[in-house]
Amino acid sequence: MVPMSHDEQPPVPPEEYGLAELAEISGVSERTIRYYQNERLLPKPAKKGRDAVYNAEHRDRLAVITELRDRGLTLQSIRDLVASKLPTRTVSEWLGIDATLSAPWSDDRPATVSHDELVALVAVHGDVPKGLIAELRDAGYVEPQPGQTWTIPSPALLDHALRLRDAGIDIEVSALIRDLLRRRLSRVVADTVKLLFERAGAGFAGSATPEELATALGALRPIARETTGVILAQEVELALAALMQSGDLRGK
């Protein structure tokens, strides 16, 4: 046998864990680990005889899954992400750019106001007829809270609803429009985010560092808002033109 020189280091044996050991170091219960395996969130372990053997990849994957769960992602979203071509390390780097990923894409934030303050906000658009506050509540623009206070989930959408009301569009109708747009846009946004992850390294991000990626996402934020507005306006214009051309207008 050739003696090992002083400069050579013995090979480091791969990290291996039994199920109980993996549960202890990851903080994830054995039952949950098995569930993640069944849901294809975690690779199946190797076998040594009848024993399951886990490794560092399982440990790191569990850390990422736990962090994604803490961030509120659904299991389906996590499955799509961990099943992508991004390695666990890259996923972790994505999660490391919190300031960019978690930065708000809108300045619109919920507000809590007193009853008198709510009436004053509504009165900016004119008189406050009896029943208007109740209409706004039923439509979800305002939510009653204890102590005669109100939460406004979206002050911007409340303002839009009141402006539409000034133009003759009922609160109920504006709420239907809001909900329709949200349902359709939520699907579009989900598909867009999935596309960005799938195309990482092929038209988006490439070999970018987390800092470079943060810059790209920072540029995407305002452009995405503007692009959505432009496309929506174009589609409304096309739909109205088609409706007028068909002659299917009430009161024609």
Mean pLDDT by 10 residues, the chain (252 residues): 54 75 92 91 88 90 82 76 58 52 69 94 88 95 93 93 93 94 84 69 56 66 79 85 74 48
Q: Could you tell me if residue 70 is inside a domain?
A: yes
Can you give the CATH number for the domain in which 94 is found? 1.10.1660.10
Determine the Cα–Cα distance for residues 77 and 193; give it in Å rounded to an integer: 10
Give strand ranges (E) for 32-145.
46-48, 51-53, 111-114, 143-145
Q: Could you tell me if residue 123 is inside a domain?
A: no
Q: Could you tell me if residue 109 is inside a domain?
A: no
Q: Could you tell me if residue 156 is inside a domain?
A: no
Give strand ranges (E) for the chain.
46-48, 51-53, 111-114, 143-145, 149-152
Q: Pick the closest to residue 128 from 143, 115, 140, 112 (CA basis).
A: 115
Domain boundary among 101, 117, 142: 101
Domain tally for the chain? 2
Q: Could you tell me if residue 178 is inside a domain?
A: no
Specify the pLDDT at position 41: 87
Determine the Cα–Cα distance for residues 86 and 78; give it in Å rounded to an integer: 12
Q: Could you tell me if residue 237 is inside a domain?
A: yes
Q: Pick the closest to residue 77 from 67, 87, 90 (CA basis).
A: 67
Question: Which residues fall within 8 angstroms of residue 122, CB to CB, at 6 or more apart?
Answer: 128, 132, 133, 136, 162
Label residue 205 exposed, middle or buried (CB < 10 Å: 0-12, 13-18, 19+): buried
Q: Could you tell me if residue 10 is inside a domain?
A: no
In order of 25, 89, 93, 215, the CA distances from 96 in angstroms are 21, 10, 5, 14
Residues 76-82: contacts with CB within 8 Å, 24+ apart?
Answer: 78/41, 79/39, 79/40, 79/41, 80/194, 80/197, 81/197, 82/41
Q: How many residues are given for the chain?
A: 252
Q: Please, are residues 39 and 48 in contact by the beta-carbon 8 Å criterion?
A: no
Q: Could you tell me if residue 202 is inside a domain?
A: no
Q: Pick the closest to residue 41 from 96, 91, 93 (CA basis).
A: 91
Domain boundary among 86, 101, 116: 101
**Residue 232 domain boundaries:** 218-252
Domain boundary among 71, 101, 131: 101
